Amino acid sequence: MKDRFNLYRFASPATFYPLAGKMIPWFAAAAVVFGAAGLWLGMLVAPTDFQQGEGYRIIFIHVPASWMSMFIYLVMAFWAAIGLAFNTRLSGMMTQALAPTGALMAFLSLWTGALWGKPMWGTWWVWDARLTSELILLFLYIGYLALTAAIDDVRRADKAGALLLLVGVVNIPIIYFSVQWWNTLHQGSSVNLAKSSMAVTMLWGMLLMALCFWMYSIAIALARVRTIMLERERHADWARAELAGKQA
Amino acid sequence: MIYWNSVGDFLAMGGYGFYVWGSFGVTALVMTIEPILVARQRKNTIARLKRQLRADARAENRSPAA
C-alpha cells in the first residue's frame, strides 16, 4: 500500500506544484542541450541524401514534431481515462496544459510536411491517408480546447473534454499505420528497429532532436499546468500561501 | 567534420533553402513565442488571483459576521 500512498501524494496539487516548479529549468536546459547537439549533427555534420539532396534535412523537425503530436495526444487520452475512472482533479489540469502544445506540434508537422512535400512531390498538400489523419489530429486538439473553453463549469468541461479525447484516440493508430494500410504518397517509416534506412549521423541527429522536442514539451506543459493549478485551487491553503508569497 | 564548404552553401541548402529554412524558421518562432505566452499568462493570472484574494479579505473585514 506504500506505493499507492506515494502515487496519491504526487497526484495532489499541493505536492505537485512545487515539484513541477523545480523540474522546469532542468527540462528546459535539457531541451537546449539536446537541440544544440541535434542541430549540430543534423545540419552541419550529416551528409546529403542521395535521393532528396539537402531538402531531406526537414526530417530533423518534421519527424520529432509528428511523433510529439501523436504522443501528447496519447498522454492526454491516458489522463482523460484516469479522470473519468477515478474523478481525479489533476487529470483535467494535465490535459488542459498539454493540449495547446499538442496542437502546435500537429501544426508544425503539417507545416514542415507541406514545405517538404512541395519540392519532393510537387505539391503542398494531398488528401492522402497520412496527411488527412494528421489534419484530423490538429482538429481534435482545437476541438478539445474549444469544447472545454465553452463550458463554464470546470468539472463538466473536464468530463466532456475527456470523452472527446477518448473517442478521438482511434485516430492515432490510423495516423501511425496509414502508410502501411493504404497506398499513400507519404513515405514509409524512416526509422526501423531492425535496420534503419538512414546514415548513422542522420539517425543520431534525428533522435537528439526528438529528445529536444520531448524535453521542450515536458517543460512547457509543466509551466502551463502550474498556472492552471494555482487558478483552480485558489481557495486551497497552499495556493493562498503561494499567492501571498508572490510580489504584486 | 563539417559537411559544408562555405556559409553560402549552408544557407542555400542545395537549392532547398526556402523549404528548409521555412521549416526551421517557423519551428523556432513557435518554440520562442509559446514560452513567452505561457509566462505572460502566468503573470496575468497571478496578478488577477492576488487582486481577488485582497478583495475577499476586505469583504471579510467589513462583515465579520459572514
Q: Is residue B35 part of a domain?
A: yes
Q: What confidence score (pLDDT) does residue A9 get?
A: 61
Per-residue pLDDT tens digits for A121-156 = 899 999 988 999 999 999 999 999 999 999 999 999
Q: Does A45 touch chain B (CB under 8 A)?
A: yes
Backbone angles phi, psi at A61, to 5 degrees: -115, -30
How deeply is A162 buried, as exposed, middle or buried, from its count of CB atoms within 10 A (0-12, 13-18, 19+)? buried
| Category of A229 on φ-ψ map: left (φ > 0), alpha (ψ -120 to 50) or beta | alpha
Q: Is residue B2 part of a domain?
A: no
Q: What confidence score (pLDDT) does residue A248 get?
A: 46
pLDDT bucket at A4, cuts 50 / 70 / 90 = low
Contacts of A224 in chain B (CB under 8 A): 38, 41
pLDDT bucket at A195, cuts 50 / 70 / 90 = low
**How many distinct structural domains can be found in chain B?**
1
Q: Is residue B1 part of a domain?
A: no
Task: Let me know: does A88 contact A235? Beta carbons within 8 Å.
Answer: no
| The three cell numbers locating residue A228 | 492552471
| Category of B14 on φ-ψ map: left (φ > 0), alpha (ψ -120 to 50) or beta | left
Per-residue pLDDT tens digits for B23-38 = 999 999 999 999 999 9
Closest CA to A61 of A102, A24, A111: A111
B53–A244 C-beta distance less than 8 A: yes
Q: Is residue B66 part of a domain?
A: no
B47–A248 C-beta distance less than 8 A: yes
DSSP state of B16: T
End-to-end CA distance of chain A: 43
| The three cell numbers locating residue A138 | 490538429
Q: What confidence score (pLDDT) does residue B62 get?
A: 81
Residues 36-65 in B contacting A (C-alpha not used; CB under 8 Å): 38-39, 41-42, 45-47, 49-50, 52-53
Supply the ipTM of this predicted assembly.
0.89
Domain range enclosing B33: 7-61
Instruction: State the average pLDDT over residues A101-128.
Output: 94
Q: Does A44 touch chain B (CB under 8 A)?
A: yes
Question: Residue A61 CB: number of other CB atoms within 10 A?
Answer: 29
Q: How far apart are CA B66 and CA B60, in angstroms?
A: 7
Task: Let me know: does A45 contact B3? Beta carbons within 8 Å.
Answer: yes
Q: Is residue B55 part of a domain?
A: yes
Task: Let me know: does A230 contact A238? Beta carbons within 8 Å.
Answer: no
Q: How far apart are CA A55 and CA A43, in angstroms?
A: 11
Q: What confidence score (pLDDT) does residue A91 get?
A: 93
Q: Is residue B18 part of a domain?
A: yes
Q: Which residues of chain B have pLDDT under 70?
A: 64-66
pLDDT of A88 above 50: yes
Q: Is residue B43 part of a domain?
A: yes
